[in-house]
Amino acid sequence: MSLLQQNPADATFGRGADEPYARAIRHEACGGLALREVGQVSAAAGPTLDLDFGKWADDADEVDRSLLRHARGPLLDIGCGPGRMVRAAGRLGLVALGLDVSPEVVELARRGGAAVALGTVFDRVPAEGLWGTALLVDGNVGIGGDVVALLARCREILASSGVLVVEAHRDDDRDHSYSATLVDADGAQSDVFPWAEVGVTRLTELARACGYTVERVFTASGRRFCRLAVA
């Protein structure tokens, strides 16, 4: 579907058309997934970003677990995918829930033992306003393509003492919102959806403007993170 036909409110990561995300979840695709930036009227060209679906579907690694070590529950993993962070949080004794808009990935996560709600972060979520920690990792700060709107929405979801842990782009100066499609190695392509990439420089500016305190900016195995407290 072209951008001209699309209702942006209905467009989410990797869905529609050839359903490459669902194909990856069902192991129907050989090879990886990539995010491709598209132009205004055609989904044909543009730079791509390789995504590590294998990692998402795996167990949490040391860096993932380090994000949870000082987390206060209950914890909400926004855009949780197959649920590795939710399972890892549960092992640490935290009450944790995943949230994802993809029915296929929610089913996969539940089969793997993670508690996951199906829905978009932009609609009302379970226990709205009561979450001690929320996560936006694996590029999920890009959800919706509007970082300010997402940060503001997370503030509504969190408790007044809540903390948002955000994975930023590896390039601190990155600040890019764009129209994307998800493609797989077989050429299957999703509908176009809005996405964003943001490094810590812009992310911390936007977070302060949205009423967060920046508690910590840190690096773990080359990945960049910010810990934002509801001010």
Distance (Å, whole) CA 164 – CA 122: 16
* CB closer to ligand SAM, 84 vs 169: 84
Q: Are 85 and 60 in contact (CB under 8 A)?
A: yes
Residue 195 touching ligand SAM (CB under 6 A) = no
Residues in contact with ligand SAM, counted by CB under 6 A, come to a total of: 23
Is 138 a residue that touches ligand SAM (CB under 6 A)? yes
Q: Which is nearer to ligand SAM, 111 or 208 (CB)?
A: 111
Q: Does residue 136 bind ligand SAM (CB under 6 A)?
A: no
Are 132 and 72 contacting, i.e. CB atoms less than 8 angstroms apart? yes
> Is residue 74 within the footprint of ligand SAM (CB under 6 A)?
no
CB 101 within 8 A of CB 51: no
Asked if 100 touches ligand SAM (CB under 6 A), the answer is yes
Nearer to ligand SAM (CB atom), residue 195 or residue 212: 195
Structure tokens at 41: 């009227």
Question: Whole-angstrom Cα distance, residue 152 to residue 209?
Answer: 10
Interaction between residue 24 and ligand SAM (CB under 6 A)? no
Dig out the tokens for 222 from the structure.
Answer: 């080359």
- Between 52 and 205, whose beta carbon lies closer to ligand SAM? 52
Q: How far apart are CA 63 and CA 49, in angstroms?
A: 21
43 binds ligand SAM (CB under 6 A): no
Q: Provide CB contacts within 8 A for 230, sequence distance 6+.
A: 155, 158, 159, 160, 161, 162, 163, 164, 211, 212, 213
**87 Cβ contact partners less than 8 Å away, ≥ 6 residues apart:** 59, 60, 112, 113, 114
User: Quick one: which of 23, 56, 179, 184 contacts ligand SAM (CB under 6 A)?
Assistant: 56
Task: Give the one residue of 68, 99, 141, 228 binding ligand SAM; rule: CB under 6 A.
Answer: 99
CA distance 127 to 32: 35
Q: Which residue among 3, 20, 120, 151 contacts ligand SAM (CB under 6 A)? A: 120
Instruction: Determine, following the binding rule CB under 6 A, whether residue 108 of this chain makes contact with ligand SAM.
Output: no
Out of 19, 116, 140, 197, the residue judged to bind ligand SAM by CB under 6 A: 140
Q: Does 190 bind ligand SAM (CB under 6 A)?
A: no
Residues that bind ligand SAM (CB under 6 A): 12-13, 56, 78-82, 84, 99-102, 105, 120-122, 137-140, 143-144
